[in-house]
Amino acid sequence: MSEKYNYNEFTPTSTVAVYTTYRTGNTFTPTASYDLDYIIIKGSRLGNCGDVDLDIYEADVAHKPTGGSLANVQIAQGDISTDAHTEITFTLTAALSLTVGQEYAYVIKSAGANVTNSFLYSRKIVAQSDYYLYSNDGGGTWLTGQIISSWFQAWGTGDTKVDTPSPADAAVGQQTGGVDLSWNDDNPGDSYDIYFGPTGSMVLIASGHGEVTYSYTAALTFEQEYSWKVDINIGGGVVTGDVWTFTVEGFLPPSTNLSSIKRLIVASNNELWYESV
């Protein structure tokens, strides 16, 4: 199942006309290696925009497309709405493996002849961490900047979150003498950052841990709910885990777990006497 890995999301306030000589796009840098399945952008058709292509490239140190296209997806003019800021999904015919830390650029081009027959790509004048890019000469030269944001989402599949926690999520009755944590990871060999603590006060207790088990030996507090999660370290990125909880057993009052004790006394006249203690 695809997950959203890279994105710029906002309420668009403007568009830019994409046609034969004007192209635009954005860069993005994966924080974890994954297989790119599709990219969603927002835009609309103006006049006869022609077919619209999305190409993916590696980006160079100047944040510009370099080398040949790694993947291409084309959307026919008839499949593009005239309603502004409509989501358009460009699904790759085969997943493209992206490498953590490598900057990539996607480029939008349209067969439309001019600004009145073009694809209107959604954007907003706002600073971003990635790079907006555009070309006025059909991709011959590129300009980049960080004061314009292009709306996009990059979806793919990769290392998934750890699952199958023990204790099970929302478990109750955990004993007070520490707890053995364990989880499942479909990609063994990863390292993990483990967070644990009373709910609302979870802290990092182990970094770069190499096993799918961890023993927390400190005593736990009666009737306290604890939270924990396990993040996967992948290259320079992190796959953030879900937060799970369990609750420690309660301390039962003496009236329900203790019984009366009586002391017997033997008298010399063969009568038995007893005294309550």
- Residue 202 pLDDT: 97
Query: Are 70 and 116 in contact, with CB atoms under 8 Å apart?
Result: no
**What is the reported pLDDT for 220?**
97
pTM of structure: 0.62
What is the three-class DSSP state of 8? strand
- Write out pLDDT tens, residues 58-67: 999 999 999 9
Q: What is the per-residue pLDDT across 106-165, written as a single tens digit (0 to 9) for each?
A: 999 999 999 999 999 999 999 999 999 999 999 999 999 999 999 999 999 876 788 999
Asked if residue 19 lies in contact with residue 139, where contact means CB atoms within 8 angstroms, the answer is no
The pLDDT tens digits of the residues spanning 77-86 come to 999 999 999 9
Distance CA 29, CA 100 (A): 7
Closest CA to 20 of 121, 136, 134: 136
Q: Where are the domains of the chain?
A: 3-158, 163-250
DSSP three-state, residue 71: strand
Domain 3-158: give its CATH code.
2.60.120
Per CATH, which fold does 163-250 belong to?
A: Immunoglobulin-like (2.60.40)
In terms of residues, how long is the chain?
Answer: 277
Amino acid identity, position 194 = I
CA gap 96, 107 in Å, rounded = 15
User: How far apart, in whole angstroms, are the C-alpha atoms of residue 94 and residue 176?
Assistant: 51
- What is the spatial distance between Cα 26 and Cα 64, in angstroms, rounded to a whole number? 9
